[in-house]
Amino acid sequence: MKYLTVKELSEKWKMSERRIRALIKEKRIEGVKYENKYLIPENAKKPLDRRIKGQRALEDTSLNRQDFDFKNYRKHYPTSDGYFGRFGGSFLPKHLQKAIDEVYDGYLTIAKSAKFIAELREIRKNYQGRPTPVYHCLNLSNHLGKVQIYLKREDLNHGGSHKLNNAMGQALLAKYLGKKKLIAETGAGSHGAAVAMAAAYFDLECDIYMGAVDTQKQRPNVDRIKVLGANVIAVKEGTQTLKEAVDAAFNAYAKEYKNAFYVLGSAVGPHPYPLMVRDFQEIIGREAKEQFVAMTGELPDVVAACVGGGSNAIGMFQAFLEEKVNIVGVEALGQGPTIGQNSAAVSLGKEMILHGFNSLVLQNEDGSVGDAYTIASGLDYPGVGPEHAFLHEIGRVKYEAITDEEAAEAFFLLSRLEGIIPAIESSHAVAYAIKYARSVSAGSILVCLSGRGDKDMEFMTRKYPNMYK
Ligand SMILES: Cc1ncc(COP(=O)(O)O)c(C=O)c1O
């Protein structure tokens, strides 16, 4: 049989050599052999171009709103007073509103200056180690079927999660504003550790508020925060998780705002936090899109990310909103759909104001805020960022929910097949990719792997001994 080189096949099929190499790696061309270079049988069948298939699939779904101008979306959303449709805004007592206005003024002037942007770029490159790579999970993909699964490796960002993208941005702003202290809430401890790193870097004091339950579940991060020189204040109110940590951090900030800066960890809170956090996190999607196209020659069929408050997801999604790509936000279904058993605020919440902004929030029958629950401390919040509520309402992003057990399966499967231990938060997005790969026969999915799972080892191995032995 006659064989062709990649170069010869590229001319025959009128396809780039890079694209052909990607197809070979995806095992989509039959009969290929390797003798110092790839050799492809002359009569090999040209695989179907998924770009066309993906676009066709979109016409059947509500995922892509053709009548919405996503090219100019960022110019219009949020509005100058912080609204995404009816979601967002700022609902604060007067004195706190004054403090937040100072933050917004600083953000609009200082954070947009060439000096600030250059300094942040330098930090991202040399301190954080950006860009983080996109990785093709060949073993996991082959194990599940034909869908190709790719990860945007935010777990390789310094500190082990996406949280540092935002923490360094806000801390740099705090430094420019002359603040001496950083205050932050944390659930999984990823944001707490990121803010503690930023405080060390910028030589600022640092108080991290964390629910007492989470200080037990995520002990490695508590130790990290302390080693980094910051204080951990365990919050013992209510469910002793993220919501109460936010309450306590806000209360502290209300007393200390003259001297301190509140570094909010997710795309939630009063305006301008959802905007700032989105802007500091959009590097994820911008890099990922460029890297994915460079690797494969096309866009992914699906982009997915887990949604707690929604910062890694909103950062990942921005660059893809204007593209013909299905976008999926993955929430935590915990033990089921009953309020108190999950954290799926988009899927199961109702509109209300919480922590100074209007969005979708889990509610009890009497309209009070419902308790959130999930094994993932970083997703354990009863509300969601206003931009997610909006993207859900206009139908551009689809929101799915994954149970504790499904996330745990993904946690162990990715670890075993790829040698990558995902954070239990990120495992929810990986679990969605696994479900997707089991349900369709071709295509690609790009998942934001928001963090690494070292912090979860003790908890996961104790809770699910049968899944890894
Ligand atoms: C690794 C990781 N991923 C995701 C999240 C969820 O946050 P967000 O929805 O803001 O990305 C957290 C929160 O702590 C986290 O630690």
* 429 Cβ below 6 A of ligand 1: no
What global pTM score does this model have? Answer: 0.87
Which among 379, 388, 430, 455 is the best mutation to test ligand 1's pocket, defined by most ligand atoms within 8 Å of the CB? 379
Q: Which residues touch 190 (CB under 8 Å, ≥6 apart)? A: 159, 160, 161, 163, 221, 378, 423, 425, 451, 455
Secondary element (H or E) of residue 447: strand 444-449
Instruction: Assess contact for 140 and 149: CB atoms under 8 A.
Output: yes
CB-count burial class (<10 Å; 0-12, 13-18, 19+) for 56: exposed
Q: Are residues 156 and 264 in the same domain?
A: no
Q: Is residue 62, in this structure, part of any structural domain at all? A: no
Determine, yes or no, domain membership for 66.
Answer: no
| Domain final position from 277, 312, 339 | 277
Q: Which residues have a Cβ under 8 Å from the Cβ of 469 and sit 6 or more positions away?
A: none
Place of tokens 């579940």: 217
- Same-domain check for residues 200 and 322: no
Which of 277, 311, 344 is where one domain is finished?
Answer: 277
Give 115's strand partners.
none
What does 212-244 look like in DSSP terms, one character per residue? Answer: HHHHHHTHHHHHHHHHTT-EEEEE-STTSSHHH
Domain region containing 248: 90-128+161-277
404-418 helix and 424-439 helix, angle to the nearest 10 degrees: 90
Radius of gyration of the chain (CA): 22
Distance CA(286)–CA(277), nearest Å, equals: 15
Atom 6 of ligand 1: nearest residue by CA position: 308
Ligand 1 centroid – CA 345 distance (Å): 15
Residue 331: the pLDDT is 98
Kindly provide the residue ranges of all beta strands, DSSP E only, lying in 79-174, ordered along the sequence: 83-84, 87-88, 134-137, 148-153
Interatomic CA distance for residues 93 and 147, integer angstroms: 50
Q: How far is the CA of 21 from the centre of ligand 1 (A)?
A: 34
In contact, 194 and 172? CB cutoff 8 Å: no
- Residue 47: asked if its preceding bond is cis (omega within 30°), the reply is no
- Same domain, yes or no, for 31 and 95? no
Indicate the burial class of 294 (C-beta count within 10 angstroms; 0-12, 13-18, 19 or more).
exposed
Asked, as a colleague might, if the bond just before 78 is cis with ω within 30 of 0, I would say yes
Q: Which helix (H) or strand (E) holds 361?
A: strand 357-361
Annotation says 162 is catalytic? yes
Q: Verify that 302 and 447 share a domain, yes or no.
A: yes
Residues 147 and 223 placed together within one structural domain of the fold:
no
Q: How many CB atoms lie within 10 A of CB 62?
A: 10
Task: Indicate the burial class of 288 (C-beta count within 10 angstroms; 0-12, 13-18, 19 or more).
Answer: buried
428 is known as an active-site residue:
no
Kindly state if the Cβ of 190 falls inside 6 Å of ligand 1.
yes
Question: What burial letters (b/e) apply to 331-357, b meaning 16+ CB within 10 Å?
Answer: bbbbeeeebebbbbbbbbbeebebbbb
Same-domain status, 321 and 463: yes
How many domains does the chain divide into?
3
User: Which residue's structure tokens are 């935002």?
Assistant: 166
User: Does residue 233 share a domain with residue 366?
Assistant: no
At 188, which amino acid appears? A
Residue 193: its pLDDT value, please?
98
Contacts 24+ apart (CB under 8 A), 333-336: 333/374, 333/401, 333/402, 333/403, 333/404, 334/373, 334/374, 334/375, 334/403, 334/404, 335/373, 335/403, 335/404, 336/403
Strand order in the sheet with 350-354: 83-84, 87-88, 357-361, 350-354
Give the pLDDT score at 27.
80
**311 Cα to the center of ligand 1, angstroms:** 7
Please check whether residues 210 and 259 belong to one and the same domain. yes
167 shares its domain with 150: no
Cα dihedral 165/193/449/111 (nearest 10): -10
285 CB within 6 A, ligand 1: no
Task: For the chain, count helices (H), then strands (E).
Answer: 21, 17
List per-residue pLDDT tens for the chain, 469 residues long: 899 999 999 889 888 888 888 888 778 888 999 888 899 999 998 876 554 333 333 333 334 555 678 989 999 999 999 999 999 999 999 989 999 999 999 999 999 999 999 999 999 999 999 999 999 999 999 999 999 999 999 999 999 999 999 999 999 999 999 999 999 999 999 999 999 999 999 999 999 999 999 999 999 999 999 999 999 999 999 999 999 999 999 999 999 999 999 999 999 999 999 999 999 999 999 999 999 999 999 999 999 999 999 999 999 999 999 999 999 999 999 999 999 999 999 999 999 999 999 999 999 999 999 999 999 999 999 999 999 999 999 999 999 999 999 999 999 999 999 999 999 999 999 999 999 999 999 999 999 999 999 999 999 999 999 998 7
Same structural domain for residues 203 and 289?
no
Burial of 168 (0-12, 13-18, 19+ CB in 10 A): buried
pLDDT value, residue 163: 98
- Residue 410 sits in a domain whose CATH number is 3.40.50.1100
Q: In whole angstroms, what is the distance from residue 266 CA to residue 87 CA?
A: 16
Catalytic residue among 76, 143, 158, 162: 162
In a domain, 297, yes or no: yes
Closest atom of ligand 1 to 423 CA is 1
CA of 443 to the centre of ligand 1 (A): 27
Q: Are 460 and 408 in contact (CB under 8 A)?
A: yes
227 and 108 in a single domain? The answer is yes
Token pair of 68 as six digits? 């919405």
Q: Are 300 and 137 in contact (CB under 8 A)?
A: no
The Cβ of residue 52 has, within 10 Å, a number of other Cβ atoms equal to 10
Looking at residue 112, what DSSP letter applies?
A: G
Q: Is 310 in the pocket of ligand 1 (CB under 6 A)?
A: yes
Closest C-alpha residue for ligand 1 atom 12: 378
- Do residues 419 and 310 share a domain? yes
The alpha carbon of 148 and the centre of ligand 1 are apart by a number of angstroms equal to 24
